[in-house]
Amino acid sequence: MRSVWKGTIGFGGYAIAVRAYSATEDRRGPLHQVHTADGGRIRYQRVCEVCGPGEEEVPAEEVGKGYALPGGDVVVLTEEELASLPLPTASSMEILGFVPPARIDPRYLIRTYYLEPEVASTKPYVLLSEALQQAEKAALVKVAIRQRETLGALRVRDQVIMLDTLRRHDEVRIPDFPFLHEEVDLHLAQVREAARLIENLAGDFDPARLGDESTAALTALIEAKVEGHEVVRPTASAQDEGVEKLLAALQEGAHARTGDGQDGEAQDTPEAVRKAKAAEDKAAGAASSAAKAVARAHTAPKSRR
C-alpha cells in the first residue's frame, strides 16, 4: 500500500511517527462508457472553455486550481503555492480532546485510514493504543491531508490505531421532513411486535455474508449476451483511419503534381495546378483529422465533475 500521509501524533511527551494508509478501496464495476453503434470507448479530454472547441488538450502541467471572484475574475493558484501554505497539521496531528467513540455521529464520518508506526515509534504507538482501549475513548484530532485541514478521530481496532476523517458541522444537513411536525398515532402493541421482529433477526455484523446481488445479476447478463453472440467488435480506430486518409491524399497530390509527364516532370497546365491545389487542401484536412484522432487515442478517460 502507498501511504497518503506521514507525520507525528503529539501525545504527552511523545511525538509518535506514523504513516497513514487508506483502509478501504473502491471496487469499480467492469463497465465503461462506449459508443453503442460500434463499441468504441468514450474518451474525455482536458479542454479550456476560454480557448474554445477544436483547441488541443490542455497539458497536465498547465492545469491548476482557481478561485472565482464575484466580478468574474479568477485567482489562479499553482500546486507550489498550495503546498507552501502554513499548515502545521500537515506533518503533525494535534489532539484536541477525547470522547466516547459512540458519541461520534456517523453522519460526520468521511474516510478511514490505518496508522502504521515508524520503527522507532512502535513503543509509544502501542502505549497510545492501549490507553485508548482501556479508557474506552477516541481522540479528536486536527490533521491536514492533501493540503486540506480536517477534523479526525483516532480509535483502535485489532490493536491498530485508525484515523477517521470527519466533516465539519456546517457540512452536515439537518433533515426537515413534513412528518417530523405531525403527530403519528401508534399502538403500544404494534411497537412491541416490531421490536420482537427486530430481535428475532438480530445478529453480528458480518459483511462477508452479505452478497452483492447487483454484481451477480450483471455478470449473468454479460455471460448470456456472450453465449448468444450479442457482442460488438470495435472497428479500426479513428487514428488509423485518419492516417490512411492522409496518406491517400498525399499520394493523390503527388500524382496531380506530376500529371502524365514523363520521368515525373511537373506539368504546369491550369488543370494540373487546379488538381494539385485541391489535393493539397484535401491533404491538409486529412492531416488535421489525423492529428485530432491521435490526440483522442492518447487521452485517458477523465471524469467530468
Name the residue among 208, 125, 123 with its Cα closest to residue 163: 125
pLDDT digits (tens, 9 = 90+) for 153-202: 999 999 999 999 999 999 999 999 999 999 999 999 999 999 999 999 99
Question: What pLDDT shows up at residue 266?
Answer: 46
Alpha-carbon gap, residue 180 to 249, rounded angstroms: 72
Cβ atoms 141, 165 nearer than 8 A? no
Query: CA 293 from chain center: how many Å?
Result: 25
Cβ atoms 232, 38 nearer than 8 A? yes
Question: What pLDDT shows up at residue 160?
Answer: 98
Query: CA 82 from chain center: how many Å?
Result: 20
Angle at 258 between CA 255 and CA 263, to 5 degrees: 120
Name the residue among 285, 184, 303 with its Cα closest to residue 242: 285
First to last CA, the chain: 27
Each residue's pLDDT expressed in tens, for the chain with a length of 305 residues = 899 999 999 998 899 999 999 999 887 677 888 888 888 888 888 888 888 777 788 888 888 899 999 999 999 998 888 888 888 898 999 999 999 999 999 999 999 999 999 999 999 999 999 999 999 999 999 999 988 899 999 999 999 999 999 999 999 999 999 999 999 999 999 999 999 999 999 998 888 888 788 888 888 888 998 999 888 888 765 555 555 666 666 676 666 656 554 444 445 555 655 555 565 565 555 555 555 554 554 444 443 43
DSSP 261: -
Beta-carbon contacts of 252 under 8 Å, excluding residues fewer than 6 positions away, are: 279, 282, 283
Question: What pLDDT shows up at residue 170?
Answer: 95
Beta-carbon contacts of 103 under 8 Å, excluding residues fewer than 6 positions away, are: none
Q: Which DSSP helix (H) or strand (E) runs through 150?
A: strand 148-157
Q: Helix (H, G, I), strand (E, B), or coil: what is residue 77?
A: strand
Determine phi and psi for 66, rounding to 5 degrees: -145, 150
Question: What pLDDT shows up at residue 79?
Answer: 84
* Amino acid, res. 288: S
Question: What pLDDT shows up at residue 234?
Answer: 82
Alpha-carbon gap, residue 121 to 18, rounded angstroms: 8
- What class has domain 5-26+85-170? mainly beta
